[in-house]
Structure 1
């Protein structure tokens, strides 16, 4: 495959990392560079800074000098993501576009790759101006995050930008077959035109010395009791409230079971309240953000890692748990159902099914040998199915075959008043 020049746009890129998207882009561009492609990343500086405190920088990625990173300063306008998201996103897009046009000089990409709706405006403008193909990876959707509902002005605004990006892109990529179906439904696309490229993992990052594993068990579950772990964002769609609701049933079958919840998010207090309501507050530890080393030690020490998502485009956390060798218990939401194969590489349950969570966890705790065999199978799949070299080759193939469709004139999408992912559901959530 010929060497290509690739311009990647992402609203998060190390050291600015909000969630899994930043880590995904970072790993992907490094692998593309390793394969010989010339990569420039267009990303932003920290929220709440400005050009005086955090000026725009242009130089090699500290982790891989083959990748050039243009980290763009925020504009002077006093805009806050939490107060006026769309205005903040538009300002960020303007700053990214201005930086690309003024600082990239004569460097011209062969393809523009946009990651999610937050960079739709500068990505579309650059692809239109340069006359090169636009590839868009849709990592998640606004409707999916809200169970199919677009009941607020903000949700409708975000959805309309997602629709525009997906319709304008010359090639659309999703991280799972479930996300491909969701994107096709929401944005009126032919699913056969959407490419599925899974997220990746670097397994060696999660190797843990035995002493660190033992120390984690003493820290989180003294007394050699069963230890369950969840890690990820603390948001409603992650379903941690369902896991907490299942914990009393689990503890009746396996007394003393402890749960560690690692991560931060807007629903932390709700989850604490749920633990009190179900009378398991003393059995649940809210660990907050853990360092990579501490998280890896927790995963290797866990009797099971439980991922109870109600909505999950892919579920990279499942790959990370598998890399650590932890037995997996996961819902079938979205991409999780593709990563965790029930009875083969883990144990599954239906999203939101509290009794199903309890039953799945008991299957693991009742038969540790079978659970560890499933964990071995899950880990063995990582390199051939989810290794970054495999993923980078697939993305490069998409770059090479994407047509330069050019600018389009699109009207506003019609947004149904009911559930956009469930036909006939006209009753909005409370």
Structure 2
């Protein structure tokens, strides 16, 4: 099939797990013989002079990375306007650079590409498939209090309702999308994210060197890696650290990643008097991150909201013991007591208990880590996921253009929570 994907992040522009997901899916579809074109973007804050539109084939995938328009728009300050401008740039790239190439399906990844993807599917008369990677309501625990949140939610609703088929990365995300967007459950397919385990295998000497750098005194080492946002729950892990250190003196916490919660997390560490025991590593490049993950006594993922949790797969691939919340997809990925240890979202005492269990019995932790790694080859193989995605493409009907009203947005919590 000829597949046209649109995404607001694609390597080398990677913001979070979405970019890695789209890249792996595109590469494996291409390896299976499909003709794949991805329209992404250049880094935000650049322009057509410093970062012009590029058109190149990488790993068997044709990638159009569109330049930002001349308008002075900033992602952080003008999110909706910036997104519309990106959509216009992606649409122009499709119309002016693809020539006679015509897709059999348009695949939209998340709400930021909704306008361009819907327009292209309508104009070309092909099915529109949308992957819902997360929701605005989920990120804000069910509250859509700000104008921006309501705007984002309405675009998510539009994309999900217009799509001829919807993909979610977990059953929890499927249930959330069905409830929020009132879509027919029959048109939603759950396809987990995948992992390439060999990308996370690191020589023992590099792991040892990283361990020496992060915990030079041989003390226990905990690691969180991922985006630093409130919904990731890292503040709960920091709050648990003083109690963990009382039973396991010297325990250090390394935090790898960037995000809007960075300052809040530093203040949280200062308030709990563990700032010197917390290392904020910032963004670790792909060449360094696997060694840091493998060096940890436990990777702790304390998400309060998590559509899937691809970092859990990455930690398992690196052989690190997992301690995770049961939020969303994490509750499906980690089998408590068999492939890791779990706790309820926001449960600081649960974090303390689970981490202590890992540190008290390293042999049992290593056995769980081994079980988690073995599961990757069957349940989270990218080739199988790509084949299942192609089945969704082939079965998707052509719904054609639709004129939809604005969704009604509850004034209270959309999930009915207090």
Give the superposition deviation at 1:383: 1.5
Check whether the contact 2:256–2:284 (CA below 8 A) recurs between aligned residues: yes
Aligned partners of 2:183 and 2:329: how far apart in 1? 19
Unmatched tracts of structure 1, length 5 or more: 426-430
Match in the other structure for 2:16: 19
Aligned partners of 1:157 and 1:267: how far apart in 2? 22
How many residues align? The count is: 418
Check whether the contact 2:164–2:187 (CA below 8 A) recurs between aligned residues: no
The counterpart of 2:44, out of the listed 42, 47, 52, is 47
Residue 70 of structure 1 aligns to a residue whose secondary structure is strand
Match in the other structure for 2:180: 186
The counterpart of 2:207, out of the listed 193, 197, 213, is 213
Match in the other structure for 1:428: none
Residue 366 (1) aligns with residue 354 (2): no
Give the superposition deviation at 1:45: 1.6
Give the superposition deviation at 1:348: 0.1
Match in the other structure for 1:29: 26
Residue 241 of structure 1 aligns to a residue whose secondary structure is helix
Check whether the contact 2:132–2:167 (CA below 8 A) recurs between aligned residues: yes
Match in the other structure for 2:165: 171
Residue 365 of structure 1 aligns to a residue whose secondary structure is helix
* Structure-to-structure mapping, 1:4-153, within 5 angstroms: 4-61=1-58, 64=59, 66-153=60-147
Aligned partners of 1:85 and 1:112: how far apart in 2? 24
Match in the other structure for 1:396: 390
Cα deviation code 1:17-52 (max 9, x no counterpart):
111111111111110000000011111122122223
| Structure 1 stretches of 4+ moved >6 Å | none
Residue 292 of structure 1 aligns to a residue whose secondary structure is coil
Aligned partners of 1:50 and 1:295: how far apart in 2? 30
* Structure-to-structure mapping, 1:203-242, within 5 angstroms: 203-242=197-236
Match in the other structure for 2:324: 330
TM-score by length of 2: 0.98
Give the superposition deviation at 1:104: 1.1
Aligned partners of 2:284 and 2:53: how far apart in 1? 30
Aligned partners of 2:187 and 2:32: how far apart in 1? 26
Unmatched tracts of structure 2, length 5 or more: none
Cα deviation code 1:50-109 (max 9, x no counterpart):
223322222212xx1x21112212222111112211011111111111111121111110
Aligned partners of 2:258 and 2:50: how far apart in 1? 27
Match in the other structure for 2:341: 347
Aligned partners of 2:82 and 2:282: how far apart in 1? 27
Match in the other structure for 1:253: 247
Q: CA RMSD in A?
A: 1.0
